[in-house]
Amino acid sequence: MSDVITTDAVIIGAGPCGLFAVFELGLLDIRCHVVDILDRPGGQCAELYPEKPIYDIPALPVVTGAELTSRLMEQIKPFNPTFHFNHMVTGVRKLGDEGFELETDGGLVFRSRVVVIAAGGGSFQPKKPPIPGIEAYEGASVFYSVKKMEALRGKDVLIVGGGDSALDWTLNLQPIARSLTLLHRRDDFRAAPDSVRKMRELAEAGKIHFRLGQVTGLKGGDGILEAATVKGNDGQSFDIACNAMLPFFGLTMKLGPVAEWGLNLHENLIPVDTEKFETSVEGIFAIGDINTYPGKLKLILSGFHEAALMAQKVFRLKNPGERLMFQYTTSSSSLQKKLGVS
Amino acid sequence: MAKITFIQHSGAEQTVEGLPGMSVMEAAVKNMVPGIDADCGGACACATCHVYVEPDWVEKVGARNAMEEDMLDFAFDVRENSRLSCQIKISDALDGLRVKVPEKQF
């Protein structure tokens, strides 16, 4: 049994809205833990468009997804939130009036007064190529991520894809696999040039096979893969013998476990009120792209506003009966102290 | 105004209208054409608006750009006539365009 982490608020999602929620809650002395399935902050800004410009953040005429993320990280530094990356919140359970218990797929357990769902389009999960019958092999012979490298020792490994994940795992697994084939649809890669160079050296030395084509079918039985059928770029089909296949086609967003937490949902979004951005369960809030209300716009700036109003209600839940004085960061010495500027 | 026809894997067709300057993806999403997921909202960052341009139209639609070519690595069953519909700008010249939607975007 892991240790239970006790906190005021667990924020699910480290995208721009989740990060700014740390700021708004922090101003009201509410301590936050932030959980995200990715390995870094930024959410869609980090995963989908780190280099793409955003033009509608007030006072920033143009900012990239990566830059916006790093500015938000800078802004919330005074509140010293604890981040738990590579974790997906799988369960949320109400504990009477005490708040909530949350658990992650990585075994973390939280007890928290409130939960703030800032999960955007849901959780990023690996894309599963729609190869007929692939489900039967998932977990036994087909893997979308590598949790334990040792499990692939001595295997005939087929890696599919041409991005950094495909290249990195080609280099990492080559020494321990019995044989390794990298299959990609073209002789060009969207990956670090250094990895591409190393891969080509291994291929030239005969230590790996690099083939061009796309998987169309799988052969095997009882979850054990024997070969992948591939259509080559010349239109001819051929088989690649393998007993482990790792397809790397990037990530896609799925609503994921949120659907099972007993919240009212509307078309995969969480309805909230527009005063507190609270869900159908008191103490669980939803901000950013994942919520819906009349007039909702899926804009980062809307999520920032939602975070500010949500924080007011969280303060009242945490400090019942206490009067919350509205203050500006420009003039309040107590807020400035929290921000470390006075 | 240009008419664009989306052909589903089942053979079902849906014709929508798009304004010049819009992308084919935007015209699809606006008209709720099934199978054009467009996770990233048109930033050429997700490959979930993949379509197959019908052979007669390939030349008029033109070639993929470099960013799109990279992004197609994350699509499934990429063919000669594969395009990301967020990267096809609608113009009067494309009035009548026909594209096929893949069975699954992933």
For the stretch A104-145, pLDDT in tens is 999 999 999 999 999 998 988 899 998 999 999 999 999 998
Closest CA to B33 of B19, B48, B54: B48
Q: Are residues A57 and A159 in the same domain?
A: no
Could you give the number of structural domains in chain B?
1
Domain that holds residue B46: 2-100
- Chain-chain contact of A52 with B43 (C-beta, under 8 angstroms): yes
> Which residue does chain B place closest to A298, by CA atoms?
B41
Could you give the number of structural domains in chain A?
2
SS3 A167: helix
- Chain-chain contact of A252 with B39 (C-beta, under 8 angstroms): yes
Residue A255, pLDDT score: 87
Nearest to B43 among A48, A130, A252 (CB): A48
Separation CA A124–CA A54 (nearest Å): 21
Residue A43 has pLDDT above 90, yes or no: yes
- Chain-chain contact of A121 with B106 (C-beta, under 8 angstroms): no
Query: What mean pLDDT is predicted for residues A71-75?
Result: 98
Q: Are residues A236 and A284 in the same domain?
A: no
Domain that holds residue A223: 128-249
Residue A3 is given by DSSP the state P
CATH code for the domain of B59? 3.10.20.30
Q: Are residues A274 and A178 in the same domain?
A: no
**Residue that finishes a domain, picked among A198, A229, A249:** A249
Nearest to A252 among B48, B70, B78 (CB): B48
- Chain-centroid distance, C-alpha B68: 12
- A179-212 burial, b at 16+ Cβ within 10 Å, e below that, comes to bbbbbbbeeebbbeeebbeebeebbeeeebebbe
- Chain A interface includes B39 (CB < 8 A): yes
CATH code for the domain of A118? 3.50.50.60
Q: Are residues A244 and A272 in the same domain?
A: no
Residue B46 has pLDDT above 90, yes or no: no
Confidence of residue A2 (pLDDT cuts 50, 70, 90): low
Average pLDDT, chain B: 93
Task: Please list the helix, strand and coil fractions of chain A in percent, rounded to the nearest 5, in that order.
Answer: 25, 30, 40
- Chain A interface includes B79 (CB < 8 A): no
Structural tokens at position B45: 């960052």
Name the amino acid, one letter, at A258: V
Nearest to B45 among A52, A216, A249 (CB): A52
Structural tokens at position A51: 């280099």
**Residue that finishes a domain, picked among A225, A249, A273:** A249
Confidence of residue A160 (pLDDT cuts 50, 70, 90): very high
Confidence of residue A251 (pLDDT cuts 50, 70, 90): confident
Of A111-115, A275-279, B9-13, B37-41, where does mean pLDDT reach its minimum?
B37-41
Instruction: State ipTM.
Output: 0.87
Q: Are B38 and B47 in contact (CB under 8 A)?
A: no
- What residues does A215 pair with on adjacent strands? A230
Separation CA A12–CA A93 (nearest Å): 14
**Residue that finishes a domain, picked among A249, A264, A291:** A249
* Chain A CB contacts of B69 below 8 Å: 186, 188
